[in-house]
Chain A
Amino acid sequence: MLGNRAKWMLVLAAVLVLVVALAGCGGQEQKQGGEQPSGGQAEIAGNLTAVGSTAMQPLVEQAATQFMAKNPKAQIVVQGGGSGTGLTQVASGAADIGNSDIFAEEKSGIDASQLVDHKVCVVGMATVVNPGVTVDNLTKQQLVDIFTGKITNWKEVGGPDQKIVVIHRPKGSGTRATFKKFALGGVEDSAPGMEQDSSGTVRKMVAETPGAISYLALSYIDNSVKALKLDGVEPTVQNIANGKYPVWAYQHMYTKGEPTGLKKAFLDYMLSEEVQGQLVEKMGYIPITKMQVERDAQGNITKK
C-alpha cells in the first residue's frame, strides 16, 4: 500500500517537475528571444530560430555553430522545412529568420513589404545526368524539349540510343523554381517523370538510373553524377560570378522588420569575412561579395 503510494507520489512529482521545466523553458525563450538592446557594445545573448530552405540549412547550421562558440550566451536553432515554410514562419512571427532560395515577392500569399531581405550567398544549379550518358552539353532549347517531354531519347541530342528518364523536384521546391526560370526560360517542365523530395535522393537516383537527367545545386554535385554545360558554358563559380552561367539563386535570410540585437549580430556574422571567405566556399556556395552581377526579384540582371 505504502509502496504503491510512494510510487504514485514519485510519478506525480516527476510529472510536476517536467511541467515546471517545460513552462520555465517557454518563459525563458519568450523573455530572451524578444527585444535585445540594439546598442553597439551590448553583450550578445538570447535565443534565435532560423527556419526554411533545406539548400541553405547546412551552411546556416555550420555558421551558427561557429557563432555560438564565440558567443556562449547566444542560442541559435536552425531548422529546415523548405523555402515556403521559412517565408511563412518569418512573416507570421513564428521564426526570427526565414531562409529562402526565392525572393519573397515570388511567393504568392506572402506580404513581402513586411520582410527585410538579407542576401547571404549564391548557389548555382546545374543539369546533371547519369555518368553513362555521353552528352556533355545541351542547348537551352534541347533542355526545354527534354523537360517538356518533346525529346525522349538521348540519341536525339547526340547521345546513345537510350530512353531519357526525367527526375523532378517537387513543384514548389526552390531549386525547381530556379531551374525552371533560368534554365528553361519559364517554360512549364511538364515531362512525365519521377519526383524526389531531397537533393540527396535525387543524386542517388541520377547516379544509379541509366539515362537519368535532373538538376542539383552545385553544393550537392560530386563524382557520382555528371554536370552538363548549358549552351557551352560550364557551371563553375567563375562563370556564375561573372554572369555567364544563368542558373543560380540568391540564398536569402529574411527578417520581419529591421533586425536588432542578436538577429543583427548573427546576420552581420553571416556576411563577415569569416563566413563569406571560408565557410561559404568550403561548402559549395558562392560568396555574395564575389558576384559581379546583380539580379532583382523579376530576374533582371545588372552589372555591379
Chain B
Amino acid sequence: MHEGFSPAPDLNNIYRTTDKRNIQGRKRCGELLGRSVAFLAAALVVVLTVSIIYFIGSKGLAIFTVHGVRFTEFLFSTHWWPDRPLEEGGPAVGSLTFILGSLLVSLLAVAVSAPLSVIVAVFMVEIAPVWGQRVLQPAIEILAGIPSVVYGYVGLSLLVPFIRNYLGGEGFSVLAGFIVLSIMILPTIISVSTDSLRALPPQWKEAALALGSTRWQTIRLVLVPAARSGLITAVVLGLARAFGEALAVQMVIGNTRTIPHSLLDPTITLTSAITMDMGYTIMGSLWNSALWSMGLILLLMSFLFIMVIRVVVRGGMVR
C-alpha cells in the first residue's frame, strides 16, 4: 500500500512547484506593471503641479519684470485703473482692495462656519452617532454637491433682497458674500472634523468617562483638544476653499473697487476681479499680466494654507 502510493506526493510536489513558479512569475510581472503605472501617475501629478506653478509664476511675475510695476505699488496701492491713458499718468494696478476683500470675506466666513461645523461634527460623532450617520451625513453630502453657481443664484435672489429690505444698503454686500461662503464651506469643515474625531482612540473617551467625567467634560476637555490638529486642518481647508471661490461671491458681493466701511457695503475679491476682467484683456498686456499676478497671489495663499496644515499636523495628532 505504502509503495503503491509513494509516487503520488512526488507528483503533487512537482505540480506545486511549477504552479508556484508560474504564479511568482506572474506576480512579479504584475507587480512591475502596477508599480510603473503607479509611478507614472504620481510623476504626472508632480509634473502637472510644477508646470502649473511655473506657468502662473512666470506669467504673474511679468508685471514686475516686463512692465516694471513696483512690487509695493501692486500689493499696497488701492488705485486700480489699468487702462488709464499715458497722458493722465499711465496705468495703475494697485490690488490692495481685492486682497483685502478676499481676506475679509473668507475670514468672516470661517469665523461663522468653523464653530458651527465643529459643533455639528461633535454632535454627529459623540452625541447622536446613529442620527448623525442616517440624517446629517447625507444632508452634508448634498450640501457639498450643490454647484457654486446655484449658491450664488439663491444668494442673489433671496439673500440680497432680504438684506436690502430688512438691514439696509443695497443688499449686495460683504454680509451677503460671507454668509453664502460660510454655507458653502460647511461641508468641507464638517467632514474633515468628523474624520479627525472618529480617528481618536476609543480608550481615551472610556478612560475619561471611567474617571468620572460627564459627557460634556469628556468632549470639552479630552476629545476636542485631542483632535485639535485635525480640527485646525479642517478650518484651514475651509479657509482655502472660501479664498478660492469665485462665482457665488461675485454674484452677491456687488463688486465695487473700494474698501468697505461696514458689513453692508459692497466690495470685491481677487477671484471676482479676475473673472470679470479676463475676457476683455489681451494676452501679454499690462492689464492681463496684473490679472495673472492676482492669480499668483491666490496660489501663494494656498501654499501658505497648505504649509499651515503641514506644520499643524506635524505638531502631532497623537501626543
Which A residues are within 8 Å of any B CB, using their own CB?
1, 5, 54, 80-85, 87-88, 92, 107-110, 165, 170-174, 192-197, 201, 204-205, 208-210
Contacts and interface: CB of A to CB of B under 8 A. Distances in A.
B280 A194 contact: no
B16 interface: no
B170 A110 contact: no
Interface stretch (B101-109, B112-120, B249-257): B249-257
Contacts, number: 72
Given A172-B287, A193-B256, A194-B254, A209 B170 contact: yes
Nearest to A171: B83
Contacts of A170: 276-277, 280
Contact of B282 (A81, A107, A193, A195): A107
Interface in B17-46: 26, 30
B40 to A, nearest CB: 12
Contact of A82 (B30, B266, B279): B279
Contact of A194 (B164, B255, B279): B255
Contact of B279 (A85, A92, A204): A85
B295 interface: no
A204 B276 contact: no
Contacts of B83: 171-172
Interface size class, chain B? 20 to 34
Given A194-B266, A197-B275, 14 more contacts: A1-B26, A85-B280, A87-B282, A88-B283, A171-B83, A172-B281, A194-B255, A195-B255, A195-B256, A195-B268, A197-B276, A201-B156, A204-B156, A209-B172
Nearest to A195: B255
Nearest to B267: A194
B282 A194 contact: no
Contacts of A88: 282-283
B132 interface: no
A170 B287 CA distance: 13
Contacts of B275: 197
12 contacts: A80-B279, A85-B280, A88-B282, A108-B282, A170-B277, A173-B280, A194-B254, A195-B256, A195-B257, A195-B268, A195-B276, A201-B251
A192 B255 contact: no
A193 B26 CA distance: 70
B213 interface: no
Contacts of B281: 84, 172
Shortest Cβ-Cβ A-B pairs, 4 listed: A82-B279, A172-B280, A195-B255, A84-B280
B302 to A, nearest CB: 24
A194 B170 contact: yes
Interface in B251-289: 251, 254-258, 266, 268, 275-277, 279-285, 287
Nearest to A194: B254
B255 to A, nearest CB: 4
Contacts of B57: none
Contacts of A83: 280
A207 to B, nearest CB: 11
A198 to B, nearest CB: 9
Contact of B285 (A109, A171, A209): A109
Contacts of B82: 171
B264 to A, nearest CB: 13
Which of B30, B82, B164, B277 is the most central at the interface, judged by chain A CB atoms within 10 Å of its CB? B277
Contacts of A204: 156
Contacts of B26: 1
